[in-house]
Chain A
Amino acid sequence: MKRIFLIALLGSAFPALADRLPMPANAPASFTSECSSCHIAYQPALLQANDWRKLMAGLSEHFGSDATVDRKTEQEITAFLERNAGSASRLGNAGNPPRITQTARFIRKHDEIPTKYWRDPRVKSKANCEACHPGGAKGSYSEHDISIRELRE
């Protein structure tokens, strides 16, 4: 009886876990201040280690912006991202330059979103997680919290 309860509990916990990507507690201050000035500080689990390394090596041409940081900060942030990176097999290829929105996981999770919503002025860009996921910066991507009413299904 106890075992069934445990299985039921685990079963109900997994879908919730899939939408929870908490920021690791040991995030260095430089990660938050540098990465969140133009977009939310994306959780390290959103890309695999190899892709984070590629991204950090190309900060001078960071999606049209110069996002270079000093050498020490770069090493600190890269080490943090590598340490907490997501699983390569779950995420899939992120392209070059690596984009979170190009990972198989992101595409699968968003495959039902019609194009017009990506173009919505409230959304602007796929990089703007918080347009639909108000708790995105805190790692909450639950489908129940989608802030654009028409997308909450």
Chain B
Amino acid sequence: MMRAIPAVALLLASLACHAETPQQIRQIYVAEATSQQAGFAPSAKRGDAFFRQRFAINDKMPACTSCHTDSPLNAGQHAVTGKAIKPLAVAANPDRLSDPAKVEKWFGRNCKEVVGRACTPAEKSDFVTYLSEVR
């Protein structure tokens, strides 16, 4: 027990000092999803399907792919303004999934606009898993 305390302290210190990694961000969502659904396991495959799903709530942005292209490894373009968008996948853009607040903010905006509702912790877990693993 006593030996675990320095390890936990070290972990907390490293969380506070460094940009969070995709794995840490995934853990945040998985913990939330698990609390709603025991035994939940994230799936990159489900995340991939979610990325491609046509929600058709928004004429200009019926799916994630409307702005982010058919591959998260590609640079995209805002469907309305034409503004360039850097790739979503960590393999193509190491800045992705490094700031939990930023990830949560964009899930908030894009889920509302494209999916038409807030995304569930399970969907976020799958999506983050997909983006951190896709090559």
Contacts and interface: CB of A to CB of B under 8 A. Distances in A.
Interface residues of B, number: 11
B67 to A, nearest CB: 9
Nearest to A126: B81
Q: Is the interface of B mostly helix, strand, loop or mixed?
A: loop
A123 B108 CA distance: 28
B98 to A, nearest CB: 14
B83 interface: yes
A11 B38 CA distance: 74
Interface residues of A, number: 17
Contacts of A64: 58, 60, 80, 113
A30 to B, nearest CB: 12
B109 A66 contact: yes
B109 A67 contact: yes
Contacts of A40: 83
B83 A39 contact: yes
Interface in A99-153: 123-125, 127-128, 130-131
Secondary structure call for the A interface: loop
B109 A131 contact: no
A65 interface: yes
Contacts of A130: 82
Interface string A50-74: 0000000000000111110000000
Nearest to B79: A124
B117 interface: no
24 contacts: A36-B83, A38-B80, A38-B83, A39-B78, A39-B81, A40-B83, A64-B58, A64-B60, A64-B80, A65-B113, A66-B112, A66-B113, A124-B80, A124-B81, A124-B82, A125-B80, A125-B81, A125-B82, A127-B80, A127-B81, A128-B81, A128-B82, A130-B82, A131-B82
Interface in B64-121: 78, 80-83, 108-109, 112-113
Given A66-B113, A67-B109, A128-B81, 4 more contacts: A64-B60, A123-B82, A125-B80, A125-B82
